[in-house]
Amino acid sequence: MTVPMAPSAEQKRIFITSLRTSLGQLGLDIVHPFAAQSYNATALGQANPMPTFNQTSTLSVIVGSNRAFWETFLAQHHPSRFDTEAEHKDPMDHYCERLIPRVTLQALKAAGLYDETQNLTTAFSVAFSHWRITVPPAGTPPEGSAPTGFVAPPAQTLPIQHVAHAAGFAYFNPIAFLNVHPVYGPWFGMRAIVMVDLPYDISDNELLLITDQNQTGTYSKDSKPIEDNPAFERLNKEQIEQQNAALERTKNALLTKGWDAKDWHEWVAFRHSLTRDRPDWQKWRYSDNQMKYHYQKQPEFLEECAIRYQNQHQFN
């Protein structure tokens, strides 16, 4: 069954702050709340809507990471402890699949919104950016959740780039096929969307604003779509047209050439070109090793990086 009465403001505060803290410990520093309805109102959302749990405005959270995720992940990466082929194939995806639903459930329990012993559940769902089709084990409820608590995401993969645009998190550049964030630029990754049977309110963004004291959360004070490309905010109309034309030419050249993992540097350069007029984004740029793995997805290289990092920092 679901929660028999509306959650209190304090319960929701505890849930959101607990989720922020737990995700931050996993290296997932981006926690952006928004209303599911902001995406569902778009053409894509109407064709493949996010669950709303009959809420007028449904709390949803984009979970992502910036360059800090790399070292957090390397510190705990031990392929010798993997049990399945899926873990070996893409360890980062598995890491997120395994832990994001778990910490969501833990946050609900911390807020008194989930207690199987009292037959008390709050429905939630988690959709991952890397899923092509939602099937077990990816769509399996996390351990410790009641059968009525975990709701399978939409059968079709949610287009997280378009969700992020509609949610006011990051502008979707249709030429580059990349999202651009006002603070991170193109140097971030979106891992999942958490959807919860709780009401969304703009105060949720205010609660999760990144400050000197809290480095995990969001820089956005609301969930309104970002109308203009942050990469071009300092350019005039003519300069923007020139930049878009240059992006189009480079993209077409790359696509004509075709994908080859050995050419990962060229794709990084394409991504980096979005930052030409925003030197303030440079501090968020991924390390070379992080970018190499992002584009090549080679588990052996990831393991080499982890061993080297753990030896340097005496992890075991």
Q: What is the pLDDT of residues 232-274, one digit of tens each?
A: 999 999 999 999 999 999 999 998 988 888 899 999 999 999 9
Phi, psi of 187, deg, nearest 5: -95, 70
pLDDT digits (tens, 9 = 90+) for 14-28: 999 999 999 999 999
The pLDDT of residue 206 is above 50: yes
More confident residue, 144 or 6: 6
Which two tokens mark 281? Answer: 């984004």
Domain layout of the chain by residue ranges: 9-313
Is the overall model pTM greater than 0.85, yes or no? yes
The pLDDT of residue 3 is above 60: no
Q: Residue 12 has what pLDDT?
A: 95
The pLDDT of residue 111 is above 70: yes
The pLDDT of residue 112 is above 80: yes
| Packed helices 91-110 and 299-313: angle between N→C axes, nearest 10 degrees | 60
Q: Where are the alpha helices (DSSP H) in 66-156?
A: 69-76, 85-89, 91-110
CA distance 120 to 117: 7
CA distance 255 to 114: 48
3-state helix, strand, coil in the chain (%, to 5): 45, 15, 40
Phi, psi of 230, deg, nearest 5: -60, -25
Q: Which of 10, 125, 22 is nearest to 72 (CA)?
A: 22
Contact partners, residue 74, CB within 8 Å, separation at least 6: 305, 306, 309, 310
